Amino acid sequence: MATIATQGSNNTAVVVLTILLVAILAVGAVYLMQDHRTGSERVGDAVAALPHGVGKAADKLGDQAPAQNVKRNLRDAAQ
């Protein structure tokens, strides 16, 4: 009987560790993704950032990882 309980605990630990590993890999994949914005999206981001300064607007024209654009992506998804 004790063996069955131990196997159940081991199975639970394996499942939890597997879920954690998948979550870590997913987060890593998001941080390593490339910027696939079109030119018009880059210009739109730059124009939106102009009130915050020309330097910030110029930064929006360059490549940005999607992880840096979470706020923009959430705003676009809500529309």
pLDDT tens track for 32-77 = 777 777 888 888 888 988 888 888 788 778 777 666 667 666 776 7
Domain co-membership, 27 together with 56 = no
Token duo for residue 78: 């809500």
| Angle, helix 54-61 to helix 39-49, in steps of 10 degrees | 170
How many structural domains does the chain have?
Answer: 2
Domain co-membership, 25 together with 56 = no
* C-alpha to C-alpha distance for 34 and 15, rounded to whole angstroms: 31
Q: Which domain holds residue 18?
A: 1-32
pTM score: 0.47
